């Protein structure tokens, strides 16, 4: 069961995990907000959907090391994954904890990738990041995948040509001449 404690000017939500450890889930500026979160935690615990806040504090770089040990792929695929991780993903996001990665981080990565890579290569890098984060969701380290659904646009497509009113009139006139 979660409870609320006041600490200076904040109200923190605390709970005892099944292993007996007492942890802080979150801190709030008002007591009612903290009480609502405490009730949410109680419901999540009852439904077995609660995510231990400590599990998502792992850095992406460390999580990738764990993920690599169990992810199965062929040698060529692994070479591509390692390249994407080493050259693009980890230098930019590797220091962030899983819970700190936001959709805006992923979108900023996409913008950066599009200046260096083809749209297809940039999409492949984002796919690898999304796969790594999806596994973190499945491992119950984070509640959602911030890379899910982020698209890498293939670039600006020129507008399709349209007939001008004069061209439409000319086409109609030609059709009328054939019919007559």
Is beta strand 3-7 parallel, antiparallel or unpaired with respect to 10-16? antiparallel
**Residues contacting residue 103 through CB under 8 Å, at least 6 positions apart:** 146, 147, 150
pLDDT at site 156: 64
d(Cα 123, Cα 126) in Å, to the nearest integer? 5
pTM over 0.75: no
The region of weakest confidence among 6-10, 35-39, 79-83, 159-163 is 159-163
The pLDDT tens digits of the residues spanning 85-125 come to: 999 999 999 999 999 999 999 999 999 999 999 988 999 99
The pLDDT tens digits of the residues spanning 148-168 come to: 989 887 666 677 888 999 999
Greatest mean pLDDT range, 42-46, 135-139, 160-164: 135-139
Residue pair 40/20 in contact (Cβ under 8 Å)? The answer is no
Instruction: Please calculate the CA angle 16-17-18 and round it to the nearest 5 degrees.
Output: 120
């Amino acid at each position: 069961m979660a409870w609320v404690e006041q600490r200076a000017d904040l109200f923190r939500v605390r709970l005892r995990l099944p292993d007996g450890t007492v942890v802080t889930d979150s801190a709030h500026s008002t007591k009612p907000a903290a009480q609502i979160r405490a009730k949410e935690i109680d419901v999540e615990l009852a439904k077995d959907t609660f995510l231990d806040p400590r599990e998502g504090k792992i850095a992406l770089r460390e999580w990738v090391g764990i993920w690599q040990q169990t992810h199965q792929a062929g040698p060529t695929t692994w070479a591509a994954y390692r390249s994407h991780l080493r050259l693009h993903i980890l230098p930019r996001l590797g220091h962030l904890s899983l819970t700190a990665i936001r959709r805006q981080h992923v979108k900023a990565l996409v913008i950066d990738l599009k200046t260096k890579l083809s749209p297809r290569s940039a999409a492949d890098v984002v796919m690898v990041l999304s796969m790594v984060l999806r596994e973190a969701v499945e491992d119950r380290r984070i509640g959602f995948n911030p890379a899910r659904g982020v698209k890498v646009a293939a670039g600006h497509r020129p507008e399709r040509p349209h007939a001008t009113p004069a061209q439409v009139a000319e086409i109609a006139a030609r059709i009328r001449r054939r019919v007559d």
